Chain A
């Protein structure tokens, strides 16, 4: 079974620029999550999708972050404009029903 795929693995941008991350979940997994993991901290949920509908986006900074999951499969997370404090690893996870989440290896974002 192929795991959660994410790209790119690394991204370096300057503050105020925009950036997008892509995630392909495990086949058949209806629930998809985006997390932000700052160095030395645990993952923090940004947004949770059930198929292509949003279940929880309470911790998504909506003035600069957006996410979509068209057709209920792949998802993209965008930041525009980026701030220095957005430097983090962005993790995508997926799950089947109420089973535990499986994570991708993340995109490491550095803001200069």
Chain B
């Protein structure tokens, strides 16, 4: 079993839709949870950064962590064509511990 599981997609939605991207993980030591966005031929860009369980909202983006079920979600409201990218979940134990990346979910928002 991989430490972090993420549906690779691709996920195709119409503009304005609500998008839900999800990851599961197996390592109970993970305390910090990141979402990175990666455009084609670019490096990953930090989108959201949360600690422990709960929700965090930033504009159209909401990150949700449920440590009891080891489930991580990213919601995108009012999705835009510019949101078309690959989204990587990346949990970590924190400090200088290694970040473990999911395989990424490729999202396409159709105008």
Contacts and interface: CB of A to CB of B under 8 A. Distances in A.
A4 interface: yes
Per CB-CB distance, the 5 closest pairs between chain A and chain B, nearest first, are A42-B101, A103-B43, A105-B43, A103-B44, A98-B95
Interface of A: 4, 31, 40-45, 48, 50, 55-56, 91, 93, 98, 100-106, 108
22 contacts: A41-B104, A42-B90, A42-B102, A42-B103, A43-B44, A44-B101, A50-B96, A56-B98, A93-B43, A98-B94, A98-B95, A100-B34, A100-B49, A101-B99, A102-B46, A103-B36, A103-B43, A103-B44, A105-B41, A105-B43, A106-B42, A108-B41
B108 to A, nearest CB: 15
Interface of B: 4, 6, 8, 32, 34, 36, 41-46, 49, 88, 90, 94-96, 98-99, 101-104
Contacts, number: 50
Contact of A42 (B49, B96, B104): B104
A45 B98 contact: yes
Contacts of B95: 98
A103 B45 contact: yes
